[in-house]
Amino acid sequence: ETSYNHDQEVKNNVKNDQVKKDEVVVIPDMEYIGQFAGTYLIWQNEEGLYLLDQHAAAERVRYERYLSKWLKKDLETNELLLPLKIEISNDLLIRLIDHETEFLDFGVDLEIKDNFVLVKKIPNWFPEGYEEIYIESMIMSLLENDFTSKESLIDDLAKLLACKHSLKANHYISSLEANQLLSDLRKCKRPYTCPHGRPIIVDINMNTIEHWFNRVI
C-alpha cells in the first residue's frame, strides 16, 4: 500500500464540436506515441499532446461510411448464397408483415416466414461476421421508428450500426492500426466528435504541460 498523496486537480472544458457547415476542420499532423488504458491513443506534435478515443473514432469513421453508402442512388448489395435465418418473436413478426418490402429501400431483401425471417440480400458493405446483428438491429430500429422519414431513419441506422461494432471492450491497437484509424478519421467531415456528440480528440497544449511542471518563465 502506498501513501501516494500527490494531489492535483485537472479541469478541462472540451467545447462541443461547433463546426460550421462549410468550415474545414483538419486534424493536425501528429506522431503516434502509444496506447493508454486500451482505449486512448496518444499522439504528439509541437503544439502538445493529443488523446484520441479509439472507439469514438472508429464509430465516426463507420458512421460516415455507412451514411454515404446508404445515401447512394444505387445501393450496393449482395445476394446471399445461403440466406440468413433470423429468429424473432411472433409479436415482432406480426408487426413486421406490413413493412416487408420497405426493407428493400435499405438494401435488405427479406422474407417473413412462420417464426423467423429469411434474409436473401444485404448491403455488400456490411462487415463480415456482423451481418446478423446488423440486420437484427435494423429490424428493431425500423419497427421502433415506425418507418417515418427515410433520411432520418438512415441517419439513425448508420449511428446504430456504427455503434454495434464498438461494443468490444478495451483492446490493443498496433501503431499501424492507430495510424490507419487516424488516416480514416482525417477523411471524415466531422472528425472531432463521435456520432453521439462525444469528443474524439482532446488535446493538451504544450503551455498547459509546461505550466504543470512549473516550466513557464
138/27 Cα distance (integer angstroms): 32
201 binds a copy of itself (CB under 8 A): yes
Cβ closer to a copy of itself: 36 or 130?
36
What are the beta bridge partners of residue 118?
A: 85, 111
Which range, of 46-54, 62-70, 94-102, 125-133, touches a copy of itself by CB under 8 A? Answer: 46-54
- 2 to 21: interface string for a copy of itself, x by CB under 8 A: xxxxxxxxxxxxxx-x----
Sequence-distant (≥ 6) Cβ neighbours of residue 174 within 8 angstroms: none
Looking at residue 17, the DSSP 8-state letter turns out to be -
59/117 Cα distance (integer angstroms): 28
Q: What is the largest CA-CA distance in the chain?
A: 76
168 binds a copy of itself (CB under 8 A): no
Using CB under 8 A, pick the residue from 145, 148, 183, 205 that binds a copy of itself: 205
118/181 Cα distance (integer angstroms): 35
208 binds a copy of itself (CB under 8 A): yes
23 binds a copy of itself (CB under 8 A): yes
206 binds a copy of itself (CB under 8 A): yes
CA distances from 23 to 17, 19, 52, 173 (A): 12, 6, 21, 31
List the grid coordinates of 150: 427515410
Which range, of 64-72, 128-136, 180-188, 204-212, touches a copy of itself by CB under 8 A? Answer: 204-212
Binding site for a copy of itself (CB under 8 A): 2-15, 17, 23-28, 33-37, 40, 42, 44, 49, 51, 53, 56, 192, 197-199, 201-206, 208-209, 211-215
